[in-house]
Structure 1
Amino acid sequence: MKINTKFVLVFVMIVAAVSFIFRLLPHPANFIPLGALALFCGTYIKSKWGILVPVAVMAITDYIVGWHSLIFFTWGSFLLMGMIGWWIQKRKNISRVVGGTLAGSVLFFIITNFAVWAFTPLYVKTMAGLVQSYYMAIPFFRSSAMGDLFYVGVFFSLYEVASYLIVKYRKRQVIPVQNN
């Protein structure tokens, strides 16, 4: 399906705006569309710079809700999720999208909770403390993975349906031929 860059840009702006708003509204812990935004941008934006869109949304919303000491781990996790989108882009199918979504959720869980263990005083700096950090984060992981799967389903489905309808509409347009 050949879709023009302007459509992709407009759709990304809408998805980014939704992600921005939902990050600021009250929500279940970690049930936000930013992981889905990262995967979406990595998958559909041809430029490798597209993975910076979710980081920009995070930076602006972090400024509003308050900075925290682990932002670079959080932002880095979203960059990695965008890179998973590059892998999905090469051969997009449902199993890659679902697998990439779950891989992104797991990466986010591993990276951010390692950072909580390593750089905050919440857990002792032993293997037992690290295990406890991951154990205590399981409810957040469940919510994060469910949010990623839900929003990836919404964003990718809406994009694919809109793309299909645009292509179908273009094919139906008849260009009149002038006889001289």
Structure 2
Amino acid sequence: MNKLIIPAIIIFAALTRLMPHPPNFTPIIAMGLFGGAYLKDKRWALMLPVVAMLLADLFLGFHGTMIWVYGSLIIITAMGFLLNSGVTLKNGAIATIGGSLLFFLVTNFGVWASGSFYPKTVEGLISCYAAGIPFFGNTLAGSVFYSGLMFFGYEQIRKYLPMVPDTIQE
């Protein structure tokens, strides 16, 4: 069973990016946090969101700010490492909100720094962040929804099926 968990999560995340959905309402941040918290092999945890994004981007197309997106997901997954001492509602919520905020700040900075749409001034950076606010709402909503689904779901499975491990071996 353990050998199927990582491929299943990657395929699920990639498919949710390919299906119609509100912009940025995806499980990618939640998946990074979940992998960081529950995957014993931290290399797999770090690769999980990146591989899912790469798989979906093969169909959606690549763009100039991917390094910022993928880099932020690696940092968010590392934030999930801090949860592996025990996921609570409080620290899970803090990580989910913090991960969403980090994603917003890093990726919008990347749009500003890498692109030519905004002037390379403080005003240009502020304009870039302001333009990203509607997307942040969806990022946060998607992260909260999918984090709840993944973390609560896994804990409920562990509660009722004692043979399910505390961490996922890979």
TM over 0.5: yes
Instruction: Out of 103-112 and 10-19, give the one that drifted further.
Output: 10-19
Once superposed, what is the RMSD of the aligned Cα atoms?
A: 1.5
2: CA distance, partners of 1:141 / 1:56: 23
Q: Secondary structure at the match of 2:21?
A: coil
Larger Rg computed on CA atoms: 1
Q: Would you say the 8 A contact 1:11–1:159 is kept in 2?
A: no
Q: Could you give the per-residue CA deviations for residues 21-59 of structure 1, whole angstroms, max 9, x where no partner exists?
A: 111111101001111111110010011112211101111
2: CA distance, partners of 1:13 / 1:162: 19
Q: Could you give the per-residue CA deviations for residues 112-160 of structure 1, whole angstroms, max 9, x where no partner exists?
A: 0001011111111100000010011000001101100000001111111
Residues matched between the structures, number: 163
2: CA distance, partners of 1:133 / 1:67: 20
Equivalent residue, structure 1, for 2:62 = 67
Deviation at 1:13, TM superposition (A): 3.4
1:113 to 92, 96, 108: 108
Equivalent residue, structure 1, for 2:129 = 134
Equivalent residue, structure 2, for 1:79 = 74
Deviation at 1:12, TM superposition (A): 3.7
Q: Secondary structure at the match of 1:69?
A: coil
Where in structure 1 do 4 or more consecutive aligned residues deviate above 6 Å?
Answer: none
- The amino acid that maps onto 2:86 is R
Superposition pairs of residues 150-169 of structure 1, within 5 angstroms: 150-167=145-162
1: CA distance, partners of 2:34 / 2:104: 19
Runs (5+) with no aligned partner, structure 2 = 165-170
- The amino acid that maps onto 1:40 is F
TM-score by length of 2: 0.90
Equivalent residue, structure 2, for 1:15 = 9
2: CA distance, partners of 1:14 / 1:125: 42
TM-score by length of 1: 0.86
Q: Would you say the 8 A contact 1:43–1:89 is kept in 2?
A: yes
Equivalent residue, structure 1, for 2:167 = none
2: CA distance, partners of 1:87 / 1:100: 9
Superposition pairs of residues 22-61 of structure 1, within 5 angstroms: 22-49=16-43, 50-61=45-56
